[in-house]
Amino acid sequence: MAPRKVQVPSKSDMDTSISSYIARGFVVMNKTETSTLLIKKKEFSIPIGIIGFLFCFIGLGIYAIVYACQSDEVVEIVVVSGA
């Protein structure tokens, strides 16, 4: 999966964006002076799985299919000079 690119005008804005993504559960994979690559792993929701199991096996099956189709979310923040 190609990373979603976020462009920021300065390094301080990049640091602010990084903090924002970390607060939302992302983890820094790679950081340079002008770019940072962050990743957020997909998560299985146990409460939704239990509800699906208790109320209907079909609900659990649908949720399992949706979970299997999801992928990890990747974001790259890049400092754009001259903007």
Q: Which residue has the higher pLDDT, 51 or 6?
A: 6
Number of neighbours of residue 14 by Cβ within 10 angstroms: 22
Strand 73-79 and strand 4-8: the pairing is: parallel
Q: Is the pTM higher than 0.75?
A: no
Instruction: State the pLDDT at residue 81.
Output: 80
Question: What integer pLDDT is reported at residue 1 of this predicted model?
Answer: 64
Question: How many distinct structural domains can be found in the chain?
Answer: 1
Which residues, in sequence order, are bridge partners of residue 73? Answer: 40
- Residue 15's domain spans which residues? 4-79
Q: What is the mean pLDDT of residues 42-52?
A: 82
Distance set, CA 8 to CA 63, 66, 74 (Å): 36, 33, 17
